[in-house]
C-alpha cells in the first residue's frame, strides 16, 4: 500500500539542511512478541507503530494525547512504555485506548541511564526509557512525547526511510538544548543537525539500542565533554549517538511535501483551517508540543484543541 514541516528562515541554513466526530478504535494491537508480531507471509506492508512513555504523574498530559491519537491515528498500533512503577491509571488508559502496555523491563536502558547520570539528583534519567521504542517488534517506529496532541495522520511518514539518505526523521531543529560550545572541538559535530528528540521516526535497521550502549562504551568522555547540562538527559544522548554513528538525519518537511517543521506550542502565525493548524506559510502542522511548559495549556493558539481533547479523555476515563 502506497503511503504518502521549516520556517522560511531555515532556507538560509547550509545546504545540508535544505528542503529537498471521533474515529472508532481499531481492533486491539497484536501481542508484543517478535514471533506473533511478524507480518503475514507475502504481506508487502511493513510493521509500523507509534511509541510513547508515560506514568500517572503526567496523566493530565497522557490522556489528551491518547484522545488525539484516537481521533487522528487510530489505525496505527500504539505502544505505551512505562516511565516507572507509578502506573495504575496509566495501565487503565492503555486498555481504554487499545494501546499495548509494554511490560518488558528495560534493563539495559536503565543500566545505561545510571551509568551516564548517577546520583539522587538525576531521577529524570528515566527519560532514556524512550529508547525502548527501538526494541519494539516493528519495522519502523515513530516516537512521540506525550506533552503533545496530534492533528494529522502519521501514516504518510512510514515507508520513507532509505539507507544512506533518510535513516532518522525529525520534526524540528533544536539549536540550544543539545551541546555546549565544546562541540566545535570535534569534527563529526561541526555540521551536525541538532534536533528536538520529542518526535522521531526510524528503524532498528539504522539505529538500535545496542548502538547507544556501544557508542557510550567507546565515547563516554566525548559525550560528557559536549553535552548540554541543565536537566537534559535523553536529547543530548539521542543527538550524540546519531551524530557519532553517522546516521542520516532528515527534517520532516523534506520528507512530506507541504508539511511544516513547526510544533512549538508558542509558535507565532499559526492559524486553523478546517479544524487543522497551519503555520504562517500555510504549511500543515502535524502536532503541537508543549516542550518546556511549566503549566497545563490555557490560552495559547493550540490550547483550545488541547482542552477539548482533555475534557473528552477524562469523560471517557471516568466512565
Antiparallel, parallel or unpaired: β 148-150 and 271-273: unpaired
Q: Is 219:244 a contact under the CB 8 Å cutoff?
A: yes
- CATH number for the domain spanning 57: value is 3.90.550.10
Q: How many helices (H) and strands (E) does the chain have?
A: 7, 11
Q: How many domains does the chain have?
A: 1
- How does DSSP classify residue 54? E
* pLDDT in 10s for each residue of the chain, 319 residues: 433 333 344 434 443 333 333 233 333 333 333 333 333 333 335 799 999 999 999 999 999 999 999 999 999 999 999 999 999 999 999 999 999 999 999 999 999 998 888 877 677 888 999 999 999 999 999 999 999 999 999 999 999 999 999 999 999 999 888 999 999 999 999 999 999 999 999 999 999 999 999 999 999 999 999 999 877 789 999 999 999 999 999 999 999 999 999 999 999 999 999 999 999 999 999 999 999 888 999 999 999 999 999 999 999 999 9
Whether 290 is covered by a domain: the verdict is yes
Whether 287 is covered by a domain: the verdict is yes
Whether 162 is covered by a domain: the verdict is yes
Give the cell for residue 205.
535497521
Largest CA distance in the chain: 57
Could you tell me the pTM of the whole model? 0.85
Domain carrying residue 122: 46-175+196-203+245-317
Give start and end residues of each alpha helix (H) in the chain. Answer: 59-72, 88-96, 107-116, 209-226, 234-244, 252-255, 303-317
Q: Is 223:214 a contact under the CB 8 Å cutoff?
A: no
Nearest to 52 by CA among 147, 144, 148: 144
CA 317 – CA 89 distance, rounded (Å):
9
Whether 262 is covered by a domain: the verdict is yes
Whether 76 is covered by a domain: the verdict is yes
Q: Is 46:140 a contact under the CB 8 Å cutoff?
A: yes
Whether 239 is covered by a domain: the verdict is no
Whether 297 is covered by a domain: the verdict is yes
Give the cell for residue 48.
509500523
Whether 83 is covered by a domain: the verdict is yes
Amino acid at each position: 500500500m502506497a503511503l504518502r514541516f521549516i520556517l522560511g528562515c531555515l532556507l538560509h541554513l547550509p545546504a545540508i539542511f535544505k528542503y529537498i466526530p471521533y474515529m472508532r478504535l481499531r481492533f486491539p494491537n497484536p501481542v508484543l512478541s517478535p514471533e506473533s508480531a511478524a507480518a503475514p507471509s507475502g504481506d508487502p506492508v511493513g510493521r509500523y507503530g507509534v511509541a510513547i512513555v508515560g506514568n500517572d504523574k503526567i496523566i493530565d498530559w497522557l490522556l489528551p494525547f491518547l484522545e488525539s491519537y484516537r481521533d487522528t491515528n487510530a489505525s496505527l498500533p500504539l505502544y505505551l512504555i512505562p516511565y516507572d512503577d507509578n502506573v495504575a491509571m496509566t495501565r487503565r488508559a492503555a486498555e481504554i485506548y487499545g494501546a499495548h502496555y509494554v511490560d518488558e523491563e528495560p534493563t539495559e536502558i536503565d543500566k545505561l541511564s545510571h551509568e551516564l547520570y548517577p546520583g539522587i539528583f538525576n531521577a529524570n534519567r528515566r527519560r532514556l526509557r524512550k529508547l525502548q521504542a527501538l526494541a519494539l517488534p516493528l519495522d519502523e517506529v515513530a516516537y512521540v512525547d506525550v506533552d503533545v496532541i496530534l492533528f494529522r495522520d502519521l501514516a504518510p511518514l512510514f515507508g520513507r526511510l532509505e539507507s544512506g539518505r533518510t535513516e532518522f526523521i525529525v520534526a524540528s531543529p533544536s539549536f540550544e538544548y543539545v551541546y555546549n560550545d565544546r562541540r566545535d572541538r570535534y569534527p563529526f559535530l561541526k555540521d551536525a543537525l541538532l534536533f528536538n528528540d520529542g518526535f522521531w521516526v526510524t528503524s532498528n535497521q539504522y539505529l538500535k539500542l545496542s548502538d547507544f550502549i556501544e557508542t557510550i562504551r567507546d565515547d563516554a568522555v566525548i559525550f560528557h565533554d559536549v553535552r548540554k547540562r541543565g536537566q537534559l538527559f535523553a536529547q543530548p544522548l539521542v543527538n550524540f549517538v546519531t551524530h557519532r554513528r553517522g546516521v542520516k538525519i532528515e527534517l520532516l518537511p523534506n520528507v512530506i511535501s507541504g508539511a511544516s517543521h513547526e510544533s512549538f506550542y508558542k509558535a507565532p502565525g499559526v492559524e486553523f483551517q478546517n479544524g487543522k493548524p497551519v503555520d504562517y506559510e500555510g504549511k500543515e502542522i502535524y502536532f503541537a508540543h508543549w516542550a518546556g511548559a511549566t503549566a497545563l495549556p490555557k490560552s495559547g493558539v493550540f490550547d483550545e484543541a488541547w482542552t477539548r481533547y482533555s475534557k473528552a479523555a477524562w469523560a471517557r476515563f471516568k466512565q
